[in-house]
Amino acid sequence: MSIAKELEKTPLQSKKFIAYVFANIINKFLIFWMIQKDISPTTIAWAVSASVFIDVGYILGQSALDIFVRMTHIKTTALKKGSKTLDVTDDKDKKD
């Protein structure tokens, strides 16, 4: 089984992703509500900016976490095999 198959799960299996989607929907609802209630444009701009920062922060955080988990898995797998050096290539990628 490949590393990707072992570590990947669908977004709906991730509690963090579900919480992110829920928070994002609430943010969009609040922005829509502010527009309907004729709230100050400056306040709406701040709300949109905060929403964008949350989105970008989540995406970058998940990307960094995925890289860390994959590299840790590759390293522990290599160490379990008794390798003194870290070889990240799969056996099928090596050419004979």
Whole-prediction pTM:
0.55
Angle at which helix 41-80 crosses helix 15-36, to 10 degrees, equals 170
6, part of any domain = no
HSE-CB for 56 with a 13 A CA cutoff: 6
19, part of any domain = yes
30, part of any domain = yes
Across the chain, which has 96 residues, the per-10-residue mean pLDDT values are 62 77 88 92 91 85 84 84 62 53
CA dist 74 and 21 (Å) reads 30
pLDDT digits (tens, 9 = 90+) for 11-37: 777 777 888 888 889 888 988 999 999
89, part of any domain = no
1, part of any domain = no
4, part of any domain = no
Number of other residues whose CB lies within 10 A of the CB of residue 20: 19
Q: Dig out the tokens for 17 from the structure.
A: 């992703």
Number of domains, the chain: 1
Residue 24's domain spans which residues? 14-84
